[in-house]
Structure 1
Amino acid sequence: MSTHRIGLAQGTAIYVGAILGAGILALPALAAATAGPASLVAWVALLLFCVPVAFTFAALGARYPDSGGVATFVAKAFGQRASGAVGYWFYFALPAGAPATAYVGGQYVAHTLGAGQTAALLVAAVLLLAAFGSNMVGLRLSGRLQLLLVGLLAVLLLVAVVTSLPQASTDNLTPFAPHGWGAVAQAASLLFFTFAGWEAVTHLSGEFRDPARDLRRVTITTLIVIGVLYLGLALTCVLVLGPELARTEAPLTLLLQAGTGSAASMVTAVMAMILTFGTMNAFLAGASRLGAALARDGVLPAPLAKGHRPGEVPRRSLALLFLLSALVCTFALTTGTELAHVMLAAAACFIAVTVAGLAAGVRLLPRFSAVWWGALVATVAMTVLLVFSGWFLLLPLVLGALAVGWSRAASGRRRVVPVNPPAAAEPATSPAGTTSGPATVPAAANTVASTPATVTEPAG
């Protein structure tokens, strides 16, 4: 059994990989088309909003380091049934989110290289298989691979920025807000998902060498890295590309062409693959451990619990995620389901998980502390965003109902086995030396299937 633990460098790489996504390749252009150069204000605002969200999850992970992640936080705050629903939201949204993310990366690579739909699907399949494969080996490989790829990605982004800066012009900042300041809010809504992902890595909190110390350090380092990369890229795109930024589908390719010439397409394709793989790698690492934790707690079938302990590899949980992802891919391809609908359905679940985790922070963190106020403000903001998911909210509602139903059915199938067999029980003696009857295990100790003192087995 592996005893590998995440350190500061690998932890930062996994966190950065979870936050960065292939959207960064196109969103600077979409945001500029919406708000003009004032889209830079939206980038800064969202980075600032990331701070309370990130530190809320870091504080909760330090207090309750467990593979259950947000589900564990919710269990502490609101009970096991709510926890099971949150666990289902994240776990069963992943088989939709991962293939969709892989396909986005495949499309960008195919577009950049001038290839067609077949090439996009092939690249997506390779990226998906690579992410599952690295996690099957364990965090020792996936963490080091993530560190290598995120380092390479940072270098490539910095090359794009530095080599194109000589062509920057402040004239491209005017007019600064051609569509009014209301458009800045629309741009911020568009850019939100480039800053999401903090909830995904909470499931790895128990894998750190020292969660109480390392999670805060990793969070700070990640905020600095994504701040430099996002703001540097967005500002350079505006200053170098000017009005052309709002008209292109591949701003990073144009930026690289301005600085490196003919190598731009190949470099952009490599970056798209790294961004896509990094996101899936981080989300799979978290989701697979969540599945094992849910099985440990009786919310999923018990055989999936294998690998839930820190340092272990939850291969059975990963295998189920792979099977479900394959089914989603097959369904989408045979029915012609739009990619946008798949992504919005997954997004509704992920936003719901974030809201639940932040609400747990309001309940569990020291009241009126700085991190508590941050959790409160972020909970309100994210709840408003969740409402705009529309009819896609039906998916988390259905998954929540299934989680509650499974928990009730599972509890009905179990019977509690006494820790001490009846024949071996001895009369309990009070301090005064009087016999008070047979020793019993307090009923409260047997209310949660995952309580260490409780032994459960299927009835019959």
Structure 2
Amino acid sequence: MAKTQMVTAGPAEAAPGHRLGLGQGTALFLGAVLGPGVLALPHLAAAVAGPASVVAWAALLALSVPVALTFAALGGRFPDGGGVATFAARAFGGRVAAVTGWWFYFAVPIGVLAGAMVGARYVASGLGLGPAGTVAVTCALLAAAFTANYAGLRFSGRLQLVLLALLTALLVAAVVVAAPAVRPGNFTPFAPHGWSGVAHAAGVLFFAFVGWEAASHLSAEFADPRRHLPRATALTLAIVGVLYLGLAVVTVGVLGGRAASSPVPLALLLEEGVGALAGPLTAVAAVLLSFGAVNAYIAGGARLGAALARDGALPRPLAKGAAPGEVPARSLTLLAVLTAALTAAATVGELDLDTLMRATSACLAAVTAVGVAAATRLLPRPGRQVATAATALTLVLLASCGPYLLVPAVPAAAGLLAAVRRPGAVRGAAGGLRAAGARAGRPGPARRWRG
């Protein structure tokens, strides 16, 4: 009974604590989507696709619209810290939910390390720091984000709002000051590596468009999920679309071949407009981008871990703090330990940033695919039609991850083993989730339920 009571906490019966409004919620969504990938990914995409990388940016932005709207609809109907795992439980049962939850939870340490490393490299480049300084900045960014989350969403949400306002202004300034230097000749030849290069670019660029699945874990933290989630999603889509497409076009148009060869294209763009101030400004942008994304993913991942433990897919002690408004300190601590261990391994073994990004993208693409597929069973029309389109597009993108699909196979096997070893707990949690939706006034279609 205790487990069912924890699961059923919804907006009308949530534990006391700070709840997100539209401003802080949008800031956290932006932090999850508009991450440090925008610093490194224009270079990585241009290296494999040339100027045609702009097509990959536009295609992924178009894909984000149905995916984002689908997750907003799901989060509004079934707000819970389990996020996509909750949706999977309602649509496909406890075992799929466990696998999905493990995909996201154990991708968080890889993803936040990659994000912090991207920001640290820009800071080191802008301020003239050496390799030791890069490592120090990476560790400082991670420590700051974990500390903010231990302080709770009231602190981290407000901090995110301020930082994202500064960041958006800085990125807009970078596009505006560099735009006059765009040269049409830099777009020829348009696809030097063929359209297969565009597909490869899409695989790595997915890192810049993940985030909607992370934001779904914060759905229960909104004061009014049904009203705030769609609005926060629409605002995030508009801001991300303008910034991403603007940066993609300007990067290729201004830098030409240097977009593919320089690991710090944003710094080169700023040099076109502000000269010597480019280094410090780039360092500021890197800190804002990195902290925002790392903070949002840690917030979502920690709440997912507590929800998974509550539902039987992770050790029960990690469930403390699973109720909305609480700090899931134990789950947060496990993520901190895993991230520290991976950081140490990356420092000693010099893990390649591209590898970390592609590994994260593969795991989160798998999570996204399950989430939108669940929506085809849980949402009413026309939401199901949008979800069907999102599912087809996501599966195509998932295939572009290629051999990196082996990465999510490991947590999938572990999550499935956990579900098999504790089938009663997982089935009970899935049933509790169904009951939670009904009591919150958000019943899922009973005829579709597979508890």
Task: Please confirm whether the aligned pair reaches a TM-score higher than 0.5, indicating the same fold.
Answer: yes
Match of 2:412 among 400, 404, 415: 400
Q: Which residue of 2 aligns with 1:129?
A: 143
In the alignment, does 2:394 pair up with 1:375? no
Whether the 8 Å CA contact 2:55–2:198 is kept in 1: the answer is: yes
Q: Which residue of 2 aligns with 1:149?
A: 163
- Which deviations, in whole Å up to 9, do the C-alpha atoms of 1:355-401 show, x marking residues without a partner? 1111101121225x2x3233223223322333454554444333233
User: In 2, Cα distance between the equivalents of 1:166 and 1:140?
Assistant: 41
Match of 1:10 among 24, 31, 40: 24
Report 1:252-291 matches (<5 A).
252-291=266-305
User: In 2, Cα distance between the equivalents of 1:186 and 1:406?
Assistant: 34
Q: CA deviation at 1:62?
A: 0.8
Q: Which residue of 2 aligns with 1:217?
A: 231
Q: CA deviation at 1:352?
A: 1.4
Residues 181, 402 of structure 1: alpha-carbon distance in 2 compared, 3 angstrom cutoff: closer
Q: CA deviation at 1:349?
A: 2.0
User: In 1, Cα distance between the equivalents of 2:129 and 2:429?
Assistant: 59
Report 1:25-424 matches (<5 A).
25-170=39-184, 172-173=186-187, 176-177=190-191, 183-367=197-381, 369=382, 371-410=383-422
User: What is the identity, as a one-letter code, of the residue corresponding to 1:321?
Assistant: L
Residues 76, 411 of structure 1: alpha-carbon distance in 2 compared, 3 angstrom cutoff: closer
Q: Which residue of 1 aligns with 2:443?
A: none
Q: Which residue of 2 aligns with 1:440?
A: none
Residues 261, 68 of structure 1: alpha-carbon distance in 2 compared, 3 angstrom cutoff: same
What secondary structure sits across from 2:63 in the alignment?
helix
Q: TM-score scaled by structure 1? A: 0.84
Q: CA deviation at 1:61?
A: 0.6
Q: Which residue of 1 aligns with 2:444?
A: none
Residues 273, 67 of structure 1: alpha-carbon distance in 2 compared, 3 angstrom cutoff: same
User: In 1, Cα distance between the equivalents of 2:183 and 2:345?
Assistant: 48
User: In 2, Cα distance between the equivalents of 1:446 and 1:15?
Assistant: 27
RMSD between superposed Cα atoms in Å: 2.7
Residues 376, 411 of structure 1: alpha-carbon distance in 2 compared, 3 angstrom cutoff: closer
Report 1:429-440 matches (<5 A).
none
User: In 2, Cα distance between the equivalents of 1:18 and 1:362?
Assistant: 24
Whether the 8 Å CA contact 1:297–1:450 is kept in 2: the answer is: no
User: What is the identity, as a one-letter code, of the residue corresponding to 1:400?
Assistant: A
Q: Which residue of 2 aligns with 1:422?
A: none
Among all aligned residue pairs of Structure 1 and Structure 2, give the percentage whose two residues are the same amino acid. Answer: 53
- Which deviations, in whole Å up to 9, do the C-alpha atoms of 1:421-449 show, x marking residues without a partner? xxxxxxxxxxxxxxxxxxxxxxx989857
The structure with the largest alpha-carbon Rg is 1
Residues 176, 86 of structure 1: alpha-carbon distance in 2 compared, 3 angstrom cutoff: closer
User: In 2, Cα distance between the equivalents of 1:179 and 1:9?
Assistant: 42
Q: CA deviation at 1:142?
A: 0.7
Residues 36, 94 of structure 1: alpha-carbon distance in 2 compared, 3 angstrom cutoff: closer
Between structures 1 and 2, the one with greater helix share: 2
- Which deviations, in whole Å up to 9, do the C-alpha atoms of 1:232-272 show, x marking residues without a partner? 22223334334543443322112111111101011111111
Residues 408, 136 of structure 1: alpha-carbon distance in 2 compared, 3 angstrom cutoff: same
User: What is the identity, as a one-letter code, of the residue corresponding to 2:251?
Assistant: C
Residues 291, 185 of structure 1: alpha-carbon distance in 2 compared, 3 angstrom cutoff: closer
Whether the 8 Å CA contact 2:34–2:289 is kept in 1: the answer is: yes
Whether the 8 Å CA contact 1:91–1:291 is kept in 2: the answer is: yes
User: In 2, Cα distance between the equivalents of 1:106 and 1:447?
Assistant: 41
What secondary structure sits across from 2:70 in the alignment?
helix
Whether the 8 Å CA contact 1:101–1:276 is kept in 2: the answer is: yes
What secondary structure sits across from 1:311 in the alignment?
coil
Q: Which moved more, 1:388-397 or 1:314-323?
A: 388-397
Q: CA deviation at 1:70?
A: 0.2
Q: Which moved more, 1:194-203 or 1:160-169?
A: 160-169
Specify which structure has the bigger relative contact order, considering alpha-carbon pairs within 8 angstroms and separated by 6 or more residues.
Answer: 2
User: In 1, Cα distance between the equivalents of 2:263 and 2:348?
Assistant: 28
**Could you list the runs of 5+ residues in structure 1 that have no partner in the other structure?**
415-443, 454-460
User: In 2, Cα distance between the equivalents of 1:447 and 1:401?
Assistant: 20
User: In 2, Cα distance between the equivalents of 1:260 and 1:339?
Assistant: 28
Residues 180, 145 of structure 1: alpha-carbon distance in 2 compared, 3 angstrom cutoff: same
Residues 373, 5 of structure 1: alpha-carbon distance in 2 compared, 3 angstrom cutoff: same
User: In 2, Cα distance between the equivalents of 1:446 and 1:346?
Assistant: 27
- Which deviations, in whole Å up to 9, do the C-alpha atoms of 1:127-175 show, x marking residues without a partner? 0000100000011111111111111111111221222334344454555
What secondary structure sits across from 2:217 in the alignment?
helix
User: What is the identity, as a one-letter code, of the residue corresponding to 1:283?
Assistant: Y
User: In 2, Cα distance between the equivalents of 1:220 and 1:372?
Assistant: 19
Whether the 8 Å CA contact 1:90–1:349 is kept in 2: the answer is: yes
Q: TM-score scaled by structure 2? A: 0.85
User: In 2, Cα distance between the equivalents of 1:33 and 1:383?
Assistant: 24
Whether the 8 Å CA contact 2:19–2:223 is kept in 1: the answer is: yes
User: What is the identity, as a one-letter code, of the residue corresponding to 1:14?
Assistant: L
User: What is the number of equivalent residue pairs in this alignment?
Assistant: 421
User: What is the identity, as a one-letter code, of the residue corresponding to 2:391?
Assistant: T
What secondary structure sits across from 1:199 in the alignment?
helix
What secondary structure sits across from 1:255 in the alignment?
helix
What secondary structure sits across from 2:81 in the alignment?
coil
